[in-house]
């Protein structure tokens, strides 16, 4: 089934570890172009790059992307896509996929999946994805966000800590890593960005906890395909460029 949704790609220049990250070259193309081309493989009715930087705007327009210039004061990509959605005058029930501008090699099928998840669960405000954790190192790594969810695939909690913790030790079969790809209903997106940051969100440095803290529901499903590489460090960039990881 093809569901109606739009994609907004938030892209900023001022990355702490990799300045100008969306413009970095990977195999002859800027990172942002790789992300846009993935988005273009979906059935999205519109694809928009949301940025606050003229260099990114010019780059995006050079390969045919629609661009909306946004405020330089946003704290997160979610705030940026909320502003873009207002510019686009999206209706409250329209589905928006937040596709981060540093997601290299993410399969288009996952974008379609997360949009479909939200469409098929109208009682929930947000949808996202996860994958099983098969390594104890990954389970213990605070950079891998863990998620637990109920029998209705509603998220219970996200944490950088190893959850659920197996009392007898070892890696629990129910351990899952969160994949940071989100679908929102446009109306809820505007509500969410007006909510104050909560203590749990600050403690874990996980924005999605603001949804749960305020009584929102996040639908979560296991990804139908392997994820790509989130380009967060020089090591990630080298892996993307060479296809090799240590």
CB 156 within 8 A of CB 148: yes
CB atoms within 10 A of CB 61: 12
Per-residue pLDDT tens for 26-81?
999 999 999 999 999 999 999 999 999 999 999 999 999 999 999 999 989 999 99
Q: Of the CATH numbers 3.40.50.720, 3.50.50.60, 3.90.420.10, 3.90.550.10, which one belongs to the domain with range 6-242?
A: 3.90.550.10
Domain boundaries, the chain: 6-242
User: What confidence tier does 235 reach under pLDDT thresholds 50, 70, 90?
Assistant: confident
In angstroms, rounded to a whole number, what is the distance separating the alpha carbons of residues 192 and 197? 10
In angstroms, rounded to a whole number, what is the distance separating the alpha carbons of residues 102 and 82? 18
Per-residue pLDDT tens for 161-189?
999 999 999 999 999 999 999 999 999 99
10 compared with 20, residue with greater pLDDT: 10
User: What confidence tier does 245 reach under pLDDT thresholds 50, 70, 90?
Assistant: low
Reported in sequence order, the residue ranges of the chain that DSSP labels E, i.e. its strands, are 6-11, 25-26, 29-30, 46-51, 66-69, 95-98, 103-104, 126-132, 146-149, 155-159, 176-185, 218-222, 229-230
pLDDT of residue 234: 82
pLDDT of residue 119: 98
pLDDT of residue 228: 82
Rounded to an integer, the average pLDDT of 132-145 is 95
pLDDT of residue 33: 96
Per-residue pLDDT tens for 194-229?
999 999 999 999 999 999 999 999 999 999 998 888
234 compared with 147, residue with greater pLDDT: 147
DSSP-derived pairing of the beta strands 46-51 and 66-69 = parallel
User: What confidence tier does 243 reach under pLDDT thresholds 50, 70, 90?
Assistant: confident
- Indicate if the pLDDT at residue 244 is higher than 70: no
In angstroms, rounded to a whole number, what is the distance separating the alpha carbons of residues 93 and 177? 28
């Amino acid at each position: 089934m093809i569901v109606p949704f739009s994609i907004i790609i938030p892209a900023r220049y001022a990355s702490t570890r990799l300045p100008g990250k969306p413009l970095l070259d990977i195999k002859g193309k800027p990172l942002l172009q790789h992300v846009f081309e993935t988005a273009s493989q979906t059935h999205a009715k519109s694809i928009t790059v949301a940025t606050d930087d003229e260099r990114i705007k010019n780059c995006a327009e050079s390969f045919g992307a629609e661009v909306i210039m946004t405020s330089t004061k946003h704290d997160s990509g979610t705030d940026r896509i909320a502003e873009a959605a207002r510019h686009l005058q999206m209706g409250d029930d329209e589905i928006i996929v937040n596709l981060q501008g540093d997601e290299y090699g993410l399969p288009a099928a996952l974008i379609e999946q997360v949009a479909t998840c939200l469409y098929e669960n109208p009682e929930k405000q947000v949808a996202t994805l996860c994958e099983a954790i098969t390594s104890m190192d990954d389970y213990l790594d605070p950079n891998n966000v863990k998620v637990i969810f109920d029998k209705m695939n509603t998220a219970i909690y996200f944490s950088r800590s190893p959850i659920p913790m197996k009392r007898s030790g070892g890696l629990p079969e129910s351990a899952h890593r969160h994949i940071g790809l989100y679908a929102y209903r446009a109306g809820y997106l505007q509500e969410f960005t007006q909510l104050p940051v909560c203590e749990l969100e600050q403690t874990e440095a996980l924005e999605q906890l603001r949804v749960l803290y305020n009584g929102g529901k996040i639908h979560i499903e296991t990804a139908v395909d392997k994820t790509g590489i989130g380009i967060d460090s020089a090591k990630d960039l080298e892996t993307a460029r060479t296809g090799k990881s240590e």
